[in-house]
Amino acid sequence: MGNVVLNLEMSKINELKNYYAKQLLDKNIPGSVFAAKTPSCMITAYKSGKVLFQGNDSESEARKWGSSAAGASNKKTSAAKVKSVAKGDLPAGIGGMSAIGSDEVGTGDFFGPITVVAAYVRKEDIPLLKGLGVRDSKDLNDEKIISIAKVIKDVVPFSLMTLKNEKYNQVQGSGMSQGKMKALLHNQAILKVLEKISPAKPEAILIDQFVQPSTYFQHLKGQKAIAKQDVYFSTKAEGIHLAVAAASILARYAFIQYIDKLSEAAGFKIPKGAGAQVDVAAAKLIMSKGRECLPSFVKLHFANTDKAIAIVNKKRN
């Protein structure tokens, strides 16, 4: 199935809406102006000006309205970026390959889980993701993360693994390092994506590096199945392949959603990170729900736990 993205003025998008009036869908896609379906193409127009064509006739349908958003000017920049970042053992041209990318979010946050996502991006879909604004999630605010994630979750095959606070505290308390937790989650997510896309195989699997490769595979020792073929590691991997950037965005989106659920359960907005603001929030939580509620909200071994308890003791004394 092909995918094409166009950047159009709102006047043009309204023209499209009139053109596809008889094929408009009732479903409300977040951030969209309209969605329509022809016998061989799905058309979704977004308020950002991007129009996504998906299906066997995506290219011919898109040609009625303009040229692809992924132009030749992007190709030179992308190639230069890969050349400057992709060093060491990474294969030449990895940025243009069909690849699975894997990344995690939440490891440094006191509140909330660890979310790991592996995502598969075919080489022919790279221009599409660029057109949708996929890039390093650290360069995007939460609003933009949510907007992009809602679109790409229906475009790329992916697997999400969520290590909730209760389970995190249980395994951490038994002596498991955070590094091993992450290795297990990455491996599981990658295996699930490989299963989803079978019989297709990625040309590469790129993991955003959090530990030396030898240590990563040592963490996985004893697992029934381990993804080993064509597996590569790199720091700042979001800049090497869009599959990692897409995984990062989807992992961040899942983390944001989980924090929203925790906020609802707490009765107030839960902050992200591990700074002083989370100490105050945890103290507020202890004051309202008791210390026994903490394991389902936070990573207990963080120093923030003692700081929050100190704040509570000071208020009570």
Check residue 67 and give its pLDDT.
61
Compute the residue count for the chain.
317
Residue 263, token pair as written in the block: 């906020």
Nearest to 303 by CA among 285, 281, 276: 276
Residues 298, 258: Cα–Cα separation, whole Å: 12
Tell me what the pLDDT averaged over the chain comes to: 86
- pLDDT more than 90, % of the chain: 56
Three-class SS of residue 99? strand
Strand partners, 63: none
CB burial of residue 270 (10 Å; 0-12, 13-18, 19+): buried
Mean pLDDT of 181-192: 97
Q: What is the mean pLDDT of residues 267-275?
A: 92
pLDDT at 77: 31
Average pLDDT over residues 155-165: 96
For 26, the 3-state DSSP assignment is coil
Question: By the 8 A CB rule, do 5 and 128 touch?
Answer: yes
For residue 12, what pLDDT band results from cuts at 50, 70 and 90? confident
Residue 96, Cβ density class (10 Å: 0-12 exposed, 13-18 middle, ≥19 buried):
middle
Cβ atoms 112, 272 nearer than 8 A: yes
The pLDDT assigned to 68 comes to 52
Please write the tens of the pLDDT for every residue from 286-312: 999 999 999 999 999 998 999 999 999
Q: Are strands 99-105 and 50-55 parallel, antiparallel or unpaired?
A: unpaired
Higher per-residue pLDDT: 158 or 141: 158
Closest C-alpha among 259, 251, 224, 256 to residue 162: 251
Q: What are phi and psi of 45, to 5 degrees?
A: -105, 135
**Tens digit of each residue's pLDDT (9 = 90 or more) over 125-143:** 898 898 888 886 777 888 8
pLDDT for 206: 97
Residue type, 156: V
Q: CA nearest 265: which of 296, 299, 304? A: 296
| Mean pLDDT, range 77-98, rounded to an integer | 60
Q: What's the token pair of residue 60?
A: 């011919």
Instruction: Name the helix (H) or strand (E) containing 142.
Output: helix 142-152
Residue 102 exposure: Cα atoms within 13 Å on the Cβ side: 30
Q: What is the CA radius of gyration of the chain?
A: 22
User: Which pLDDT value is given to residue 227?
Assistant: 96
Nearest residue to 207 (alpha-carbon basis) of 96, 83, 117, 133: 117
DSSP bridge partners of 208: 234
**DSSP H/E element including 316:** helix 304-316
On the question of pLDDT at 87 being above 60, the answer is: no
pLDDT digits (tens, 9 = 90+) for 188-201: 999 999 999 999 99
Task: Specify the pLDDT at position 1.
Answer: 55
**Which pLDDT band, with edges at 50, 70 and 90, does 79 fall under?**
very low
pLDDT at residue 73 tops 70: no
What DSSP state is assigned to residue 22? G
Q: Render the burial of 175-206: b for 16+ CB within 10 Å, e for the rest.
A: eeebbbbbbbbbbbbbbbbbeeeeeeebebbb
* Confidence (pLDDT) at 71: 33
User: Rounded to 5 degrees, what are φ and ψ at 58?
Assistant: -60, -40
Beta bridge partners of 32: 46
How far, in Å, are 79, 149, 225 from residue 188 at the CA level?
Answer: 31, 21, 9
pLDDT digits (tens, 9 = 90+) for 23-65: 888 876 777 888 888 888 888 888 888 888 888 788 878 887 8
Nearest-angstrom CA–CA distance, 248 and 237? 10
Model pLDDT, residue 186: 97
